[in-house]
Amino acid sequence: MTSRPSLYAAALLILQRDLRLAVRRPGEWLQPVAFFICVTLLFPLALDPAPERLRQLAPAALWIAALLSSVLAIDFLFREDGRDGTLEQFALSGQSFTGLVLAKTLTHWLLTGLPLAVAAPLAAVALGAPTAAIPGVLLALLLGSISLSLLGSIGAGLTLGLRRGGTLVSLIVLPLAIPALVFGAQATDLAIRSEPAAAPLYLLAALAVLGLTLAPVASAAAVRIGLE
């Protein structure tokens, strides 16, 4: 009998596998970020394009678009691995299932949350935000998107066994995402107005840490139930 690889090695392997699959199927991770850019760019067309008014609405536009994009992306997290039996093999691998689910969620964040955070400053500038606001907007979206991915993993796990779980995921995730939305929009607003945004950023970081601590356990339990 051979010794089992460490959880760290197994997690790295999942990261590598999912990144390779993403390179071969770019549509899956490009869709949410393309959706995010489209929604934010539609705002100036639907509203009075006065720069001051756009600047005021930019935080709400950015965060609602980010929230909807992350919900759109969450469908890709477990669905295919659940369908083709990969999650069953994860559950029987002898590795910590919670650890493997966290590895999958973090890879998913790298593919969907990180591109959103990178695209957000550009969208903010397009909505009239000053370039000085870019670090604040970037940081707020980086922290917020981690929470959104982790919350989404719970929703994706809970709806794994359902044929059409897309709408239900939204209904589960959107109410849970309200704190991230409130603090994120506030941090973005303060950054755009060139005011100190440390307080909401700390709260976003706290939410991300809380999510990293609790969400993998909840989503692993939900996925296990989904596999039954």
Of the candidates 120, 151, 115, 113, which has an alpha carbon nearest to the alpha carbon of residue 135? 120
CB-neighbour burial class of residue 131 (10 A; exposed 0-12, middle 13-18, buried 19+): exposed
| Interaction of residue 98 with another protein, rule CB under 8 A | no
Of 9 and 47, CB closest to another protein: 9
Residue 167 near residue 122 (C-beta atoms within 8 A): no
Going from the C-alpha of 11 to that of each of 5, 95, 103, the distances in angstroms are 10, 10, 5
Of 22 and 117, CB closest to another protein: 22
| Interaction of residue 15 with another protein, rule CB under 8 A | no
- What is the Cα 60 distance to its own chain's centre? 17
Q: What is the DSSP string of 17-74?
A: HHHHHHHH-THHHHHHHHHHHHHHHHHHHHS---HHHHHHHHHHHHHHHHHHHHHHHH
| Interaction of residue 228 with another protein, rule CB under 8 A | yes
Per CB under 8 A, the list member of 43, 51, 62, 89 interacting with another protein is: 89
Residue 149 near residue 70 (C-beta atoms within 8 A): yes
| Interaction of residue 110 with another protein, rule CB under 8 A | no
| Interaction of residue 94 with another protein, rule CB under 8 A | yes
| Interaction of residue 188 with another protein, rule CB under 8 A | no
| Interaction of residue 24 with another protein, rule CB under 8 A | yes
| Interaction of residue 25 with another protein, rule CB under 8 A | yes
| Interaction of residue 53 with another protein, rule CB under 8 A | no
Per CB under 8 A, the list member of 8, 16, 38, 51 interacting with another protein is: 16
| Interaction of residue 227 with another protein, rule CB under 8 A | yes
Residue 57 near residue 43 (C-beta atoms within 8 A): yes
| Interaction of residue 145 with another protein, rule CB under 8 A | no
Q: Considering the complex, what minimum distance in angstroms separates the CB of residue 69 from another protein? A: 23
Residue 220 near residue 169 (C-beta atoms within 8 A): no
Of 100 and 208, CB closest to another protein: 100
| Interaction of residue 51 with another protein, rule CB under 8 A | no
- What residues make contact with another protein under the rule CB under 8 A? 1-5, 9-10, 13-14, 16-17, 20-21, 24-25, 83-86, 88-95, 100, 227-228
